[in-house]
Structure 1
Amino acid sequence: MPTHRRTHISRAVTAATLLALTAACTSGSSDRPEERAPESGGAPYEGLPDELGRQSLDWTSCPAASPSQDPMATAPPDELAEGAGWECADLEVPLDYGQPEGDTIELALIRARAGDGAERIGSLVFNFGGPGGSGVATLPAAGESFDSLREGGYDLVSFDPRGVGESEGIVCLSDAERDAAVQELGSLPETDEEREIAERQEREFIAACEENSGHMLRHVSTANAARDLDLMRHVLGDDALYYFGVSYGTQLGATYANLFPDKVGRTVLDAVVDPDDDPVHQGLLNAMGFQRALDHYLEDCVQQSDCPAGENPADGNLWISDLLTDLEDAPLPTTDASGRDLTVTLAFAGIISTLYSEDSWEYLTLALEEVRDQSTGDLLLLLSDLYNERNPATGEYSTQEPAFTAIRCADQPGGLSEEEALSHQDEFVEASQVFGPYMVWSLGGCGDHWPVTEAADPPNYDATDSAEPLLLLGTAGDPATPIEGAERMREAMGGPETAPLLRWEGEGHGAYLSESPCVVEAVDAWLLNGEIPPDDTTCPA
């Protein structure tokens, strides 16, 4: 199966896997936020021309998110408590930090200012993961969950990373072409004819990426995003970066700590990615994590009076596995206005979308009931659209999926051949009866034809020289970033003194937004007061 078809199924699992919460308080001012001086104060930034290093941000009221950021958005973001509104601005950064006098791009930023009367700590910058997720769209949606931090003295800030949304978002196929590709080949290619279709689709996908976003593909690495973060910190006027990274945002945060250790402020890394870049290891970890989450869902489902998947978890795994197998040959009909059927690729995304949070399990039950009772796939298709950031009514997509591909392929070019990938099939099936047969195809990576063939910045997460420790959060039932990865990242960053781990014995992707009082209190104590919990502190579910 060619690269982008292989990664299409993989991205349905890993887009949010890697797909989406900082030094002592510095220069706290008792001025009301609207009265304080311009962010950078016109200070230079070493290595960059003055028009970048001395720039000031022009904050204005935010419009509704664009379709490239969130195709479901129809209105500007809602205000927070006390009438706190959202402001947007653009930050100018070098396209290529190796040529700082060359071309530039603009990154879209959003913020809500610190609470009235609060002694301002600084800007707390968020990245919610993907890679490819729009922070401009995501932060307002989750803003109320972080209001204690805003009221405690932080400006809440997020951004669209380079290649995402309104920050020169990566564009490859058109929306209609993306739909058509999934309908033409929405399953694993097994026949010669299907392999020919897949190979043609791969060529068309890569050609479209080069035609529409070729100038960006070599410059969207995580290391470049970390360099953007430091310029952002400087222009915002902070001596240290206060940072909250989730999922892939933890990889970005760890990369920043390695590149700019003396600028690390109070940092939280939630739903921590595994530092091992071996694709087999990463793929098996994903398969294990989602299978664990599915097992937990089925254990809960069979306690209900009429679980559609059967009377026990073993039967449930078999029923869902058989459903996916049947969809390989016979997609289910839907009432979708554009005429799409529910293919195995779409059903796969719909199922895993519900495993990111225990609150979503009821929707998986409803979707499986529809399949069982009506032999239609409307709800699974809707869940797939929401996961893939596609507006079901208009057919518009965000840039998340092509950005995911471009960022991952800038960080880790290449991949295994189809033969090499399938040699691991037994390991994947053992890790997950349901997901393993599909996730093994993710090992294809970027393939031989992707235009970026060598990583400019090999990953390095050593943070032993950082000015402050970085607090890691791991969730026992996290499907996308299993807690075992957080344990390995702790060691890669320098051990417990550098990166202590706070464990939450709950379910879902990420701990802070679970609103566990224990987790929220520990994180807020660190970010607001500098009180970091001891390594291996455990919060109950």
Structure 2
Amino acid sequence: MANPPRPRAAALTAAALLVSALLAGCAENSGDQDLTAQKLDWKDCPAPDQAQGGGGSPSPLPDDGTWQCATMKAPRDWSDPQGDTIGIELIRVRSTGEESRRIGSLIFNFGGPGGSGVTTLPAFGDTYAKLRTRYDLVSFDPRGVGRSAPVRCEDDQQLDAYFQQDGTPDDAAERTEFVNSTKAFNNACKKNSQGMLPNVRTTEAARDMDLMRQVLGDDKLYYFGISYGTELGGVYAHLFPKKVGRAVFDAVVDPTQNPEQSALGQARGFQLALDNFAADCTSKTEDCPIGDTPQDVRDRIAKLLNDLDRKPIKGIFPRELTQTAATGGIAQALYSPDFWPYLTQGLEEAYGGDGSTLMLLSDSLNGRSENGEYSNITAANVSINCADDKPRYSTEFVEGRLPAFRAASPVFGDYLAWSMLSCTDWSVAGAADHPDVSAPGAAPILVVGNTGDPATPYAGARRMVRALGDGVGVEMTYKGQGHGAYDSKNRCVQGAVNGYLLDGKVPAAGTVCS
């Protein structure tokens, strides 16, 4: 669940997808209704719709734990809490433990922004079995996402063309095409999102979570935030410090950075992950099929991308694998060491002229299913980022920063530099240069950073701790690979997180797991 390449795509820590919008854009009038007193009507979950990524209804957990879904009413605009409402889609599975030991509901946000928690939580249900002994596990589609008043931009055919274009323009003609395509996408978001674009800021989603806490019957918020979910959790803590219960932030977004600094940090992070992948492949006892040394692997990838810029190769018919699609596919595979074998396979095939595996990885990053339908993860990712982020960058600014981005990453530098144009000419002003997460007086928040994280580089964890304030953030380090720590199944990490969430045992600040 990622805060991935910000502009043109978004990947989650889950391999679950998301997008489309049939129902939830319609608003109802709440009148004088007290939304904190609403009763949720929990029912068996339907199959995810296109906006959520499609697929079948979630399967019961091995202990016959049944997934239930409900819709919570929330103000469309939190500055007018008695005005129109929207529906926030929730999912839960009940605790397995004795009612006398139940703590409450543990709410998850898996990141993006733009990820559907309703599809992602069931995909990881087994991972959180220990936590379920004392909590109901709950997640949700944040506003603008999935079934929760989803924002909509371009249709499937338009998105295919959007992701086929050159995302790293090299000359004036390509720059003009890139800028025009971005404007067309942004205009489509304004046209098709039923006026929701001003209402998808992270501050609004944080207020939804506090309403959720009350509707679920908890005095405090028990929370597990991953990737962008750490930013959402930090904003919640800033707005409601006295309502923070036990909270864990994993794969931590740096709250002190503006979009340019964040993109540059991601360039370094993805390059580090690529270097680690190359070293791992060439260190194996058998021959690495994509290079003899780490530098050889990097050189061959660079040559592949340069060749694709001139001439794409066969992808998934009728689409070809372009330089931009290959870069996205490589980035997607770096989110988890579990995907590294697919990256090796995809590169080996691409060197032979077959780009289908790299394109599958790129499609996953962009929220495209095998039947050609897109979730709304890209629309939501751009809409939430642009509503949150105040800076608006120009073509000239990006061109001036290209040397720094290329120095940070020969592979991902251009891709992430040009992503800074995603909010240019956006129809809604951004809220701030970066989020405010200062939370004096909040309960301890366990902040877990992963030294090999590509999407949320390790340095962000320490900055989050400092930004939360004295006595709030508790820093913990995982020396590992991939995006996030808990889902790596490292026993040290899971033991510390479980000990805090289940028993209130705060790990010593500076704890290191490897």
Distance in 2, matches of 1:469 and 1:265, equals: 8
The residue number in structure 2 matching 1:57 is: 40
Contact 1:13–1:480 (8 Å) recurs in 2 = no
Which residue of 111, 123, 131 corresponds with 1:149? 131
Structure 1 residue 228, shift from structure 2 partner: 0.2
Amino acid at match of 2:453: D
Aligned residue among 151, 171, 175 for 1:195 = 175
For residues 131 and 407 of structure 1, the distance between their equivalents in structure 2, rounded to whole angstroms, comes to 7
**Percentage of matched positions with identical amino acids:** 46
Quote the offset at 1:187 in angstroms: 4.0
Question: Hey, what does 1:121 align to over in structure 2?
Answer: 103
Alignment of 1:48-447 (within 5 A): 49-71=32-54, 73=55, 75-118=56-99, 119-151=101-133, 153-183=134-164, 185-304=165-284, 305-334=286-315, 336-337=316-317, 339-372=318-351, 374-392=352-370, 394-447=371-424
Q: 1:493 aligns with which of 465, 468, 489?
A: 468
- What's the secondary structure of 1:442's corresponding residue? helix
Q: How far 1:65 moved relative to its partner?
A: 1.4
Q: Is the 8 A contact 2:10 2:377 kept in 1?
A: no
The residue type equivalent to 2:268 in the other structure is: M
Question: How far apart, CA to CA, are the structure 1 residues paired with 2:417 and 2:287?
Answer: 33
Look up the SS of the partner of 1:506 in the other structure: strand
Query: 1:13 Cα deviation (Å)?
Result: 7.0
Q: Secondary structure at the match of 2:417?
A: helix
Q: Secondary structure at the match of 1:505?
A: strand
Q: Give yes or no for contact 2:282–2:292 (8 Å, CA) kept in 1.
A: yes
**1:91 partner SS:** strand
Deviation, structure 1 residue 276: 2.0
Structure 2 counterpart of 1:475, one-letter code: N
Q: Report deviation, 1:277.
A: 2.9
- Alpha-carbon contact 1:413-1:445 (below 8 Å) kept: no
Q: Deviations over 1:72-125 (max 9, x none)?
A: x1x211112321100000000001011112111001000000115252110000
Show the counterpart of 1:465: 441
Whether contact under 8 Å (2:389, 2:433) holds in the other structure is: no
Residue type at the aligned position of 2:177: I
Read off the aligned partner of 1:321 and give its amino acid letter. Answer: A
| Structure-2 change in CA distance of 1:15 and 1:365 (3 Å) | closer
Structure 1 letter corresponding to 2:121: L
Change (3 A) 1:538 1:101: same
Deviation at 1:181, TM superposition (A): 2.6
- Mark the CA change 1:49 to 1:508 in structure 2 (over 3 Å): closer, same or farther: farther
Using the alignment, how far apart are the partners of 2:93 and 2:152 within structure 1? 29
Question: Cα deviation per residue 1:394-415 (whole Å; 9 max; x = unaligned)?
Answer: 1101110010000000000342
SS at match of 1:77: coil
Instruction: Give the deviation of 1:458 after TM superposition.
Output: 6.4
1:38-53 equivalent positions in 2, closer than 5 A = 49-53=32-36
1:312 Cα deviation after fit: 1.0
Aligned equivalents of 2:5, 2:108: Cα separation in 1: 27
Q: Is 1:531 the counterpart of 2:499 in the alignment?
A: no
Deviation at 1:454? 3.9
State the distance in 2 between where 1:352 and 1:294 align. Answer: 8
Distance 1:426 1:192, change over 3 A: closer
Q: Distance in 2 between matches of 1:249 and 1:9?
A: 16
Contact 2:230–2:253, Cα closer than 8 Å, also in 1: yes
- Partners of 2:200 and 2:387 within 8 A in 1: yes
For residue 354 of structure 1, report the CA deviation from its aligned partner. 0.9
Q: CA deviation at 1:459?
A: 2.0
Aligned to 2:484: 510
- State the alpha-carbon separation in 1 of the partners of residues 326 and 304 from structure 2: 9
Structure 2: gaps spanning 5 or more residues? 17-29
Q: What is the TM-score normalised by the length of structure 2?
A: 0.92
Tell me if the contact between 1:309 and 1:316 (Cα under 8 Å) persists in the aligned partners. yes
Q: Distance in 1 between matches of 2:270 and 2:8?
A: 12
Q: Which amino acid aligns with 1:376?
A: D
User: Does structure 2 retain, via aligned residues, the 8 Å contact 1:13–1:352?
Assistant: no
2:50 alignment partner, SS class? coil
Q: Deviations over 1:329-371 (max 9, x none)?
A: 211112x24x000111211111011111111111100001101
- Scaled by the length of structure 1, the TM-score of the pair is 0.88
**1:124, 1:457 → 2: CA distance?**
30
Q: Give the match for residue 24 of structure 2.
A: none
Q: Secondary structure at the match of 1:82?
A: coil
Deviations 1:102-156 (A, max 9, x none): 11100100000011525211000000000000000000000110011112x1000
AA of the residue aligned to 2:250: D
Task: Give the SS at the match of 1:297.
Answer: helix
SS at match of 1:398: coil
Q: State the Cα distance separating 1:306 from its structure 2 match.
A: 3.5
Deviation of 1:309 (Å): 3.1
Q: Is the 8 A contact 2:257 2:434 kept in 1?
A: no
